[in-house]
Amino acid sequence: MQQTSTTWEKLISKKRYQSAADSEKYGTDESVRGEFQRDYDRIVFSSAFRRLQNKTQVMPMPESDFVHTRLTHSLEASVVGRSLGRIVGKSILERHPQLALEKHIQEADFGDVVAAACLAHDIGNPPFGHSGEDAISAYFLSDAAKPFLQQLTDAQKADLHRFEGNAAGFRVLTYTYPAHCNMPGGLSLTYTTLATFTKYPKESLPVIAGTKNTSEKKYGFFQSERQWFQTIATELGLLSKGQEDQVFFHRHPLAFLVEAADDICYRIIDFEDGLKLGLVPQEKGMSLLRQILNDAPDRVSRLTFYDWREELGFVRARIIGKLINETASIFLQHEEEILAGTYDKPLINELECKLVLDEISKLSVNLIYNNKPVLEIEAAGFEVLGGLLDACMKAVFKPESKHHRKLAALIPPQYLQLPSTATDYDRIIHFTDYVTSLTDQAALGLYRKIKGIELPRMY
């Protein structure tokens, strides 16, 4: 009999994948930090998170210091996520007091889980923004890559043909290099944080064209992590979807809050960047933002602003606070539907200001995302990432060439040292890990060197 609803008692679990050796090494300090705070801290100190400081959010890295990178966006999303989690957690504990009495779950635990998942939500994104995903997909769909993919299954090919930064992020969090290492997977996070991170809890196949369900629009893990996600979903009691042979589940409820925190931040803060850069007309942009607040016509601020940029920061702060409270309220209104798997759409679609947010999104596409520097970096990303992947492919699969052996020497050894049982898919995923881990500048610098455009400096 198929499960029809899940429960918070199963969904909030402090279980994590770790060995005895790991426990001895790191110690257990739950009384000081809490298990989910430990997740947050581990992400902060990871090298993959640190590299986000040099990965494009929307605009290319300019001289202006107020434009967001992936790092600042992730930090801001985590702050919004923590607030959402705490507000929701307070009400859930009131509705389900056994969580505190029997499992010792606190309001802060909800905030820490959502904050940690938000902090990591872009950790698998390749260089050059979202166009980097398109560039990787385009390479693996190209004639140059086809000869190397013949031994792959349809699902493995789908991982590459529709490359997904969310799946790469799940791999960053759960996979340990080198491949023969016996240490726990990745950052050894709790099952609950990993499930909350996974906004698309399905494998790359089947592709559900035209779906209205937000959790089915993309996929959340590669075939290499398929069984690992199955274990997490089973442990937490996630509701199953699809056929028996498919790893395809309904979302962990808190993943809706991660999605909402990301949506709030990029819609409002990308727009703020566009205003400050002069890409969005000041009067038009400020008027739209004020409409979200829906202040009374006679409202008079007690603050004095010296210029419109100073007022913009104040307005943005008020907007985010307003959207946090409204979004948490919407989640709580639909709690039973979310637990039953009958609710599957972005929470921000039900905000009172949705029409204004849609207008902001439309203006952002026209004036910010289609701005010439953005299009230029996207075009460059296709050349750079395609060139790097092609070089890696030849280095791995055609080592008889002296030139290709030299290319292989440029790839860090942990991405090439696989056991003898490794498949072609394993080899491709490993060097793709390397390419996606690069910052924008590192990817561009490596591409220039292997193409002979720029020679390395000799010290």
The 3-state DSSP class for residue 145 equals: coil
Q: Which two tokens stand for residue 251?
A: 């979302």
Q: Is the peptide bond before 419 cis (omega within 30 degrees of 0)?
A: no
Q: Is the peptide bond before 201 cis (omega within 30 degrees of 0)?
A: no
Domain 9-236 classification at class level: mainly alpha
pLDDT tens-place values along the chain, 459 residues long: 456 779 999 999 999 976 444 444 444 555 578 999 999 999 999 999 999 998 876 655 555 555 678 899 999 999 999 999 999 999 999 999 999 999 999 999 999 999 999 999 999 999 987 889 999 999 999 999 999 999 999 999 999 999 999 999 999 999 987 655 555 578 999 999 999 999 999 999 999 999 999 999 999 999 999 999 999 999 999 999 988 899 999 999 999 999 999 999 999 998 998 998 899 999 999 999 999 998 876 677 778 888 898 999 999 999 999 999 999 999 999 999 999 999 999 999 999 999 999 999 999 999 988 888 778 888 888 999 999 999 999 999 988 888 888 888 888 988 988 888 999 999 999 999 999 999 999 999 999 988 877 666 655
What is the model's pTM?
0.93
CA torsion 6→11→17→21, rounded to 10°?
-140
Count the Cβ atoms, other than its own, within 10 Å of residue 217: 15
Checking 203-208 for CB contacts under 8 A at 24+ apart, the result is 203/155, 203/246, 203/247, 203/248, 204/155, 204/158, 204/159, 204/162, 204/164, 204/167, 205/154, 205/155, 205/158, 206/242, 206/246, 207/158, 207/162
Task: Pinpoint the residues of the chain covered by CATH 1.10.3410.10.
Answer: 260-368
Phi, psi for 429 (deg, rounded to 5)? -60, -35
Task: Pinpoint the residues of the chain covered by CATH 1.10.3210.10.
Answer: 9-236
Q: What is the C-alpha separation between 151 and 149, in angstroms, rounded?
A: 6
Residue 177's nearest CA partner among 414, 410, 427 is 414
Q: For domain 260-368, is the CATH number 1.10.10.200?
A: no
